[in-house]
Structure 1
Amino acid sequence: MTHVAMTIAGSDSGGGAGIQADLKTFQELGVFGTSALTAVTAQNTLGVHGVWPLDPEAVTAQMDAVFDDFRVSAVKTGMLFSSDIIRAVARSLEKAGRPALIVDPVMIAKGGAHLLQREAAEALVKELIPLAAVVTPNIPEAEELTGTEIHSEADMEDAARRLLRMGARAAIIKGGHRTDERRASDLYVDADGNRMIFSSERIATKDTHGTGCTFSAALTAFLASGKELPEAAEGAKRFILAAIADGLGLGAGHGPTNHWAYHRLGGMSAKGGISVET
């Protein structure tokens, strides 16, 4: 059986993030990728040089065309840009019967460019998070969504549980921005009472462009393939660890991760490994 996933996100002309990163990740994990483009960006490793959002009706038309012809097992959102696009995406997902939804709340690019209009965060909370099987913010995104400050593991858990109260079935708070910690630790909690920490050694590199997109795309692919959420989260952590560890050295800024490293380094035994705490 061929599993199908969808990404709803912006285009990255540099190829390291967005639609391009998502489709590469789906392919690497044996899932057929479909897409709905929300915006075109002029982008490279040095930053975002321009953003041109699509009309919400164009986003809806892409989604509806895919849903009318494919059995989509899991859907992920990335850069949505505006409240109008967010509402259009939510309506199309409801119409399609609410396939498993992974919300990666893309807000700010590595170089600092805003990829979500400030007023759109409220629409994200009201329209999409209640539909989500899992939400995957990094620490700045989690702070923005929950209105809290995150300095510790306890703060991460508080933010994750706030996201559950907003309606998400699960939340993964990515801890890469906690530079006070020797290890990079992500916290997973879900509405069934599961709590896990996936941690790995930090890798000294500037080439981390697209890590959030790639992590959530791997999570989406594993869910589309039938894995349960905790197992899919662990697999996604291993995938992104390999992608960072086996860098490509491209560009003069924050270079892209290596989307084929997971298999080159041995899949679930990816370089460095991770630990799982409950």
Structure 2
Amino acid sequence: MDLTLELAPIAEVRGVVRDETEQPIESAVVELWAKDGEDSTRVSSGWTDAQGRYRVGPAKPGVLKIFVGGEELFRVVVDARGQPVEGVRVEVRSALSRGRVPWLLGGGWVQQTGPDGRFSLQSVSGAQLELRVEKPEYVLACSEREGGRIALPVKPGDREVRAVLVREAFVHWQILHWDGTPVPSFPVSTREGLGNAREFSNEEGLFSVPILCTGTLQLELRVAEGVDVRGGSRRLRRLMSVREEVDVHLGALVLDGG
């Protein structure tokens, strides 16, 4: 009896692990886990080489887990009174690509703060990372918005950092023609770091802009040339004091021909 053995190549999972600067990461642990219903079983594991390359197998349907050496980062999210904020959505991103970093951190890309306002991320490495913290009806406090940023930088060596959120606040008003009818659309610019004018549209003339910082806010309301102002002014300016977390209601502003 003749016996012929044919050796077929074993399918493998191959790839390269890079950091947020596109540099290869050496000595990262790569594990291949096969899914069987609700259960998972580790099929194989390996390490990345000096070029960040890895090979694990045999390939099976499942999940590829990558662990990169680094520090454990703790953070706490509090409100303006120092009280913890629960249910804040936390996400790690690359400050260079504005995308997610190419490896898993702890329980995944996104976590939520617990009742004590805390969360932790495992294996944080790299010098160009940032955290986005989001919760409905909350924004980053003015003290956290250096340079107009909307995310918090993660500096090398950071172990515990505190993020401060405040409740959203707005300036509300209604703009009317001199005869009491609403102005339905016009651009608004502010001197509080919002940048260029934004176009507002509301049939009842009701509008609002967010309050970003405590201090002085200058509103400039301009009606476009193509809109009939019925003999009134095309521009209104208002200077006011505002505070974080405190809404301001200006009432009706009238284009009175001044």
Shorter-chain TM band = under 0.3
Higher strand proportion, which one?
A: 2
Higher helix proportion, which one?
A: 1
> Larger C-alpha radius of gyration, 1 or 2?
2
Relative contact order, higher structure (CA 8 A, sep 6+): 1
